[in-house]
């Protein structure tokens, strides 16, 4: 497999998509979001409880603690818990472009990876969903980065990436306990990715 190299022109496209995706989500947050609803209120309440009572205020028998803790950390700085939760989701949704691009490039080539990144950044329902006070966007980010790190750890025999994958999946578990199923997929996924990338190294670069 060809090692990743830094090509300024190629990464300028991905960086531009990140900026456009971030601005698109901020625009939706400012113009199309109104009051919090449903589960959002519970995450905000736990975040506020964490700031008031410490760790005991964060732990709950049903609601996972990681996302409310992030809301509390950011909200304690900007003094607005709702805005903090929305900004966490907005930024997580925009940062998602980078792991999507890297995994797509390794699997199917540069052009398809950029198209996937473009879709993730500008698909309206996905962008709109990344403006709420819910953990799904941050959860998606840590799980996909964890999957990529786990694959690279096995493929390149780099234990530090395995540790990073474990920490990311641990964070994912503290948002959505179903993440254990994703960790089980790393071995089969690595075999599939290795077959794809080993065959791709004989092809030509399809970047634009």
- What's the pLDDT tens digit per position in 94-112? 999 999 999 999 888 889 9
pLDDT by residue (tens digit) across 167-178? 998 899 999 876
Gyration radius of the chain's alpha carbons: 19
Mean pLDDT of the chain: 84
Close Cβ partners of 99 (under 8 Å, ≥ 6 residues apart): 141, 144, 145, 148
- In this prediction, residues 81-95 reach a mean pLDDT of 96
The answer, yes or no, to whether residue 204 has pLDDT greater than 50, is no
Q: Phi first, then psi: what are they for 109, rounded to 5°?
A: 105, 170
CA proximity to 88, closest of 137, 33, 39, 160: 137
Question: Token digits for 55?
Answer: 């760790």
pLDDT at 187: 54
**What would the mean pLDDT of 10-36 be, rounded to a whole number?**
89
Structural domain spans, the chain = 8-200
pLDDT at 196: 54
pLDDT of 87 above 90: yes
Other Cβ atoms less than 10 A from the Cβ of 168: the count is: 22
Q: Which of 66, 52, 126, 60 is CA-nearest to residue 96? A: 126
Predicted confidence at residue 206, as pLDDT, reads 47
Please check whether residue 134 is in contact with residue 89, taking contact to mean a CB–CB distance below 8 angstroms: yes
Per-residue model confidence (pLDDT) at position 5: 53
- Segment 182-189 shows an average pLDDT of 56
pLDDT at 48 over 90: yes
Share of the chain above pLDDT 90, in %: 54
């Amino acid at each position: 497999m060809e090692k990743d190299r830094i090509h300024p022109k190629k990464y300028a496209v991905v960086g531009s998509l990140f900026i456009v995706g971030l601005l698109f989500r901020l625009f939706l947050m400012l113009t199309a979001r109104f009051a919090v609803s449903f589960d959002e209120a519970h995450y905000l309440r736990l975040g506020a409880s964490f700031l008031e009572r410490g760790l005991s205020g964060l732990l709950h028998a049903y609601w996972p603690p990681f996302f409310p803790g992030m809301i509390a950390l950011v909200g304690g700085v900007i003094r607005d818990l709702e805005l903090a939760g929305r900004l966490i989701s907005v930024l997580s949704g925009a940062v998602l472009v980078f792991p999507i691009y890297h995994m797509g490039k390794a699997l199917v080539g540069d052009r398809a990876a950029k198209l996937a990144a473009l879709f993730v950044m500008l698909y309206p329902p996905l962008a709109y969903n990344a403006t709420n006070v819910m953990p799904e966007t941050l959860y998606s980010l840590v799980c996909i980065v964890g999957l990529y790190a786990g694959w690279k750890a096995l493929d390149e025999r780099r234990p530090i990436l395995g540790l990073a994958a474990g920490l990311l999946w641990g964070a994912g578990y503290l948002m959505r306990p179903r993440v254990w199923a994703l960790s089980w997929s790393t071995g089969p996924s690595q075999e599939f990715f290795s077959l794809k990338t080993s065959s791709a190294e004989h092809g030509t670069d399809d970047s634009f």
